[in-house]
Structure formats: C-alpha cells, structure tokens
Homo-oligomer: A and B are copies of this chain.
Amino acid sequence: MRKIAIGQAGGPTAVINATLAGFVKEMMNDHSLTFIRNGYDGLAHGEFIDGDQAMLEWVIQNNHVPGACLGSGRYPLSEQNITNCIKHLKEIGAEALVIIGGNGTMEALRKIEAGAARAGYDLQVIGLPKTVDNDLGGTDHAPGFASAARYVAQATLDIGRDLHSMRNFEQVRILETMGRNAGWLASASGYLRKYEEDGPHFIAIPERPMKRDELLDSIDIAIRRHGCATIVVSEGVRWSEGNQVEREVINGRPVLGGISNEIESFLKKELKIMARFELLGMNQRSSSATVSRIDYKESFLVGVTGGKWIREGKTGIMVSLQRNGQFGYNLNIIPVGLKEVVQAGERRMPDHFIDDLDTYYQWLRPLIGDDLVSYPSPTPRRDIYAKE
C-alpha cells in the first residue's frame, strides 16, 4: 500500500477536522496513512503518528470537533527546515504529502515539492484549503470561512440588540474581528441586518484605510437616528494616517489586535460618549455552536477529493472550490496549481463587494446558509420613535 503523510497547519477552524476526516475515510481502506503532528514544526522534526485502526477511528471521531486534532501551529520554514521535512518524509517512505492549511501552507508545500524533485525524490504533493479569513487565492472560498462568517454575523446582530436595549447607558460598541489583510469576515457582520437600527453602522476593513471623519460621521448619524451605533473592524485595519496596530511580535509574525481599543479611546475623547470595544476572539474560528452546515459538508468533501486525487496521481495542486452556474449555487471542485495559488497572494475583497455589500451577501448566502435567526424590528411602532 502506498504510504501517505497528512497534517494540518496554521490557525485552526471549526471544520478543519472535517477535511481530515473526509480524507481519512476516502483513503483508509487502500492506503497506509501516517499523521504529522503539529504541522510543519512536527514534520521538520519527524514527528509522525502511525495510522493504525485506533488512530484512524479517533481522527474520524474528531470530524465535528473544532481545532486541529493532529496539532497545528505556526512555524517559519527555513531552507534547513524544508530539507529536514523532506528527509523525514523519505525516511518513513512517504509517497505523498497532504497538508490542510492556508497561504503559508501552500507556499511551504511548493517548496517541499521543489526540494524533493531536486533531490530525485518522487513525492506527490496536494494542499487542502482552510482559512477563516478567506484570504486564500485560487479558490472561490475556503473551508472554515463560512462558519466564522456565520459566527460574526450572529454575534453582531445579537450584541447589537443587547446594545440597543442599553443605549441610554452605552452608545457605541466596537467589535473587532479576525482578518489580517482581508475584510471578508468583518464585512460578513451585516449579513443578518434587516433594520437600520441593527448594526453594523460602520465597517472598517484592511482593504480601505479608515478615515476618522467618516467614522465620526457614521456614528453621529446612527446615534442621532437610533441612539446607538455598532462598529465592526478587522484586526488588520489601518487608520488612513497610520499603520496596523500590533499587540506583539511572536516568531517574527506580528499578532494584530488593538485597533478597536484605539477607536474606543478616540470616540470617548471626540464624542464624550460611552463606547466599549470587544474582540470577538477565538470563538470566531472555533465555535461549534455556529458551524455552517454547508461549510462542514464542503470541508469534508475537500478531504475526500484530496484523497481521490492522490489516487489519480495528481500533484503540485490545491483542491479549489469554484461556483458554477449563473443561478443558484453549484459547486465545482477543481485542481489549481500551487504555483498559481502562491502567485495569487493574499486574496482581498474585490471592490464590487466592498462598494455593494448586498452583492457580497448574495454571494455569501449559500455558504452561511438560510437557517439563521430572523428578528422583528428592534423598534416598535416607528411613528412614536420618529418623534425623538
């Protein structure tokens, strides 16, 4: 039986284990599977777990568990590390390497493939996509994003209703979402908005520097009309006159976060109102209670497809999700070259989505699903409230 090594890398999602389970179910009967612990760090150090029956069953049992059950982590891949990865794969006799991850993963896979080729080692390489930021190129969207988007949309609506009931006491909440370089997640915050009292009343994303006067104007209008304002910002947002706000630098990678705190201070000073920031936090990528059913299914299917393509001998590719058909949502799964994915770089929101959020929400609908809450207007009898 051909031996296949599979691992998970980068920040986990609520459905990354579904992709792993899909792959394992597809392959377990006619391949020998070896699991890589802790992503590239584990691979560079030769940390493998043999895929015996108990291990295979355990992995499949994890299909609905958030987080990466094999261990993941962020690990900078030096040239020496890549050489080590290849050495360890060769030692165990792996004929294929499959990693579930995002942009960094696909770049690393490409380097490992190239390094193996140079060394005359015939290694089949396939990347399986995942990201909550949705910034992965070469695919319409990536598994994990829709569940995170669903969390953000639900939290924004719910926290907005909470704020609306407290508006005599507290006027502004600033919700900070994940999204280092792309605003897909922050922009999803308005997906459930049906009434103008509901937030977000202002969305700031990394694609567009945030202007202080635009922020103030939006809040001013919302407070005058509704008594409160909900603001949503991506962690990677820059002020038009400044840089991204870094909390700290770990392993050479800046941990972003803090822009919402800066906005809180700015608003309190400028508007003399009660404002509070809040990071939506790790639940965005790990909440089991808000997993999108279609996201789960697609994640699983991505794993199954990766397995099938290993069997077909495909290599140097990532499993890519594409929309097909002008009406409705039809999923096509196609291979896309790792080279193409890497060259595409971090995928930002296109202008036509940023400038017309309704178009974006139509695009989002089949991914998030229709099985979400619908609330009545936050305001009874608008005629009474209009007098204020």
Binding site for B on A (CB under 8 A): 8, 11-12, 14, 38-39, 41-42, 49, 54-55, 58-59, 61-62, 64-75, 154-155, 158-159, 161-170, 173, 250-251, 255, 274, 276, 278-283, 285-290, 373, 375-378, 380-381, 384
Instruction: Given A55-B380, A73-B166, A165-B12, answer yes or no on A159-B278 (Cβ-Cβ < 8 Å).
Output: no
Q: How many copies does the complex hold?
A: 2
Contact B289 A154 (CB under 8 A): yes
Q: Quick one: which of B73, B154, B165, B286 contacts A159, CB cutoff 8 A?
A: B286
Contact B278 A279 (CB under 8 A): yes
Contact B283 A155 (CB under 8 A): yes
| A–B Cβ pairs within 8 angstroms, 17 of them | A12-B165, A54-B380, A58-B380, A62-B376, A65-B376, A67-B163, A68-B166, A69-B161, A69-B380, A154-B287, A158-B283, A162-B282, A163-B282, A169-B251, A278-B279, A278-B281, A281-B281
Give the docked Cα–Cα distance between A278 and B278 (Å). Answer: 9
Instruction: Given A62-B375, A155-B283, A159-B286, answer yes or no on A381-B168 (Cβ-Cβ < 8 Å).
Output: no
Give the docked Cα–Cα distance between A324 and B105 (Å). Answer: 57
The interface residues of chain B lying within 8 Å CB-to-CB of A54 are 380-381
Give the docked Cα–Cα distance between A170 and B155 (Å). Answer: 26
Instruction: Given A62-B376, A373-B288, answer yes or no on A72-B165 (Cβ-Cβ < 8 Å).
Output: yes
Give the docked Cα–Cα distance between A41 and B381 (Å). Answer: 20
Give the docked Cα–Cα distance between A17 and B286 (Å). Answer: 28
Instruction: Given A66-B161, A384-B49, answer yes or no on A168-B73 (Cβ-Cβ < 8 Å).
Output: yes
Give the docked Cα–Cα distance between A74 and B8 (Å). Answer: 47
Contact A161 B67 (CB under 8 A): yes
Contact B55 A168 (CB under 8 A): no
Contact B38 A168 (CB under 8 A): yes
Give the docked Cα–Cα distance between A71 and B161 (Å). Answer: 10
Contact B285 A162 (CB under 8 A): yes
Give the docked Cα–Cα distance between A68 and B162 (Å). Answer: 7
Contact A71 B287 (CB under 8 A): no
Contact B167 A71 (CB under 8 A): yes
Give the docked Cα–Cα distance between A275 and B278 (Å). Answer: 19
Contact B373 A64 (CB under 8 A): yes
Give the docked Cα–Cα distance between A164 and B38 (Å). Answer: 10
**Which 9 A-B residue pairings sit nearest by Cβ, starting from the closest?**
A67-B161, A68-B165, A73-B168, A162-B286, A67-B165, A61-B376, A73-B169, A67-B162, A158-B286
The closest CB in chain B to the CB of A157 belongs to B288
The interface residues of chain B lying within 8 Å CB-to-CB of A381 are 49, 54-55, 58
Contact B158 A59 (CB under 8 A): no
Minimum CB–CB distance for A279 against chain B, Å: 7
Give the docked Cα–Cα distance between A377 and B333 (Å). Answer: 32
Give the docked Cα–Cα distance between A187 and B62 (Å). Answer: 26
The closest CB in chain B to the CB of A282 belongs to B159
Contact B376 A165 (CB under 8 A): no
The interface residues of chain B lying within 8 Å CB-to-CB of A68 are 165-166
The closest CB in chain B to the CB of A155 belongs to B283
